[in-house]
Amino acid sequence: MLDFQILTDSFSIPCCVMSVEKTQEGGCGDIRIIASNKEYKETMGPKVYDGMLYHELVPKDNKFEDFCFRSVFDKKRMHAYVEVKAMDCWIDEQVVPLEGGDENTGYCFYFFEMTKNADVERMSSVTINTAEIIIRSILTLMSTEDFRQNVWIVMEDFRRIAEAMACRIILIDEESESAQLFCGAYDPEKYTDRPTNIIPSYDVIKTWKTAIGESDCLILQNEYDFEFLQDIDPIWYKSLKDNGITSLIIIPLTRLGNTIGYMYMINYNTDKTADLRELIEIMSYILGSEIANNQMVKKLALISGTDGLTGLNNRYTFKQRLENIVSEKQHNFGIVNMDLNGLKLVNDNEGHDEGDAYIMECVEAMKKVFDREDLYRVGGDEFLAILTSTTKEKFEEMVESIKSLASDQPRISMAIGSFWNDGEMSTRDAIRKADEEMYENKKEYYAKHPEYDRRNKS
């Protein structure tokens, strides 16, 4: 669902999101303020809270209610500049209907500016145009479809509005001093014979912070601006000139005060600079928040699917892999079951730190044979490898390699079972076959080394 707080916080004028209810008779019911920004709270006073009825702040007004009701249920953008005697001022107010809700409840975005006296020259067209673009962009970003594709849609929208040759987002990692292209939109007629995957070096990107300085963005739209850049970074200046860059906007994407990347446009229509700055400044906050949230979700997903000790995939990820094999109808695959021998004895006699060290030695041996993404820790001493992008012959060579490593290392001991499925068995049966071979191998080991068999211990 649309995060209304992010929407309101992205504006620097007083604004809120309201819910509007329809009565059984089809008239206007309760109107509630469900989210508002700090400017709204500062203007309207300390009584503001989420979920309050609007007339707890100002006198009930039928015209205002009709104004909001028609906007929400007729899906119309509404604008009015009215005198509010109760507040002894004039209010330039605008209401934009939002998607969501149902046939009896809808939502609208309400923002306003106050003037002491009537001002017929109030210019609200720029603000409402910007609001339309931002609302459309937020709804796109919060779609359940592919996030990167949604960002591209927003960037392409910006590029067309700016009449730019390209609009791109670069993400940075200051700790590793690296940068990567996250998304780019290009004019097919202007952006010709240029690689779309090449980005400035990190050494260049880190100078952007200095170039932006105390401002909130860097705008280069004439020779004077480019001369300023030449003093900061002559190499970057020369690169821009050599590549025919005549105008540029760079704005940082931040999250909780940290810069996570930059959005920039090249060779845009400089007559639109003022409007673009307003739009991009607001959207940089929204994009920064949404991209950071998306990255956090991915990190959490990685953490939740990773074994804490070994860094390998865990049982949860293993189940997902099996589901993918079934859904994608991957008939040919190999499975290797590796169960560590004697782990309990190491834990009991030498302590769990030594037990962890023993596990990691075995894991390092596995990683010499199998790719990390194919390895899974599914139990304390049980590991599995699933191989789908290989042949039966190569699979058998890998099985022999891990068996050889386990036998050649005095510290490492594993019971190993394997099975190659050529499509004649279900995934479950293939795993069972590998399990059966592993258990037979373990029986043989403990028959030779009964002192390591934990089943013989009291």
**For the chain, domain boundaries:** 4-121, 141-301, 315-456
**C-alpha to C-alpha distance for 411 and 343, rounded to whole angstroms:** 11
**C-alpha to C-alpha distance for 434 and 441, rounded to whole angstroms:** 11
Given this chain, do its domains 4-121 and 141-301 carry the same CATH topology? yes
Which CATH number does 141-301 carry?
3.30.450.40
**C-alpha to C-alpha distance for 2 and 9, rounded to whole angstroms:** 13
Count CB-CB contacts under 10 A for residue 409: 14
**Class in CATH terms, 315-456:** alpha beta
Q: Mark 428-451 as b/e (b = at least 16 C-beta within 10 Å).
A: eebbebbbebbeebbeebbeeeee
Question: Tell me, what's the pLDDT at 391?
Answer: 92
Residue 202 CA from chain centroid, whole number: 22
Task: Assign domain 4-121 to its CATH architecture.
Answer: 2-Layer Sandwich (3.30)
**C-alpha to C-alpha distance for 402 and 416, rounded to whole angstroms:** 9
**C-alpha to C-alpha distance for 435 and 417, rounded to whole angstroms:** 6
Q: pLDDT tens string for the chain (458 positions)?
A: 568 899 899 888 899 999 999 988 787 899 999 999 999 999 999 899 999 999 998 877 766 787 888 889 988 888 776 666 567 777 888 899 998 888 999 999 999 988 877 564 543 344 556 667 877 888 888 776 688 899 999 999 999 999 999 999 999 988 888 999 999 999 988 887 666 677 888 888 888 888 777 566 788 877 767 877 887 788 888 888 888 899 998 988 987 778 899 999 999 998 787 667 667 767 777 888 888 888 877 776 666 788 888 989 998 889 888 888 888 888 789 999 999 988 888 888 898 889 999 999 999 999 999 999 999 999 889 999 999 989 999 999 999 999 998 876 667 889 999 999 988 888 889 999 999 999 999 888 888 877 766 555 54
360: left (phi over 0), alpha (psi -120 to 50) or beta: alpha
Question: Tell me, what's the pLDDT at 227?
Answer: 78
Question: Tell me, what's the pLDDT at 302?
Answer: 64
Question: Tell me, what's the pLDDT at 125?
Answer: 42
Question: Tell me, what's the pLDDT at 86?
Answer: 67
Greatest extent of the chain over all pairs of C-alpha atoms, in Å: 97
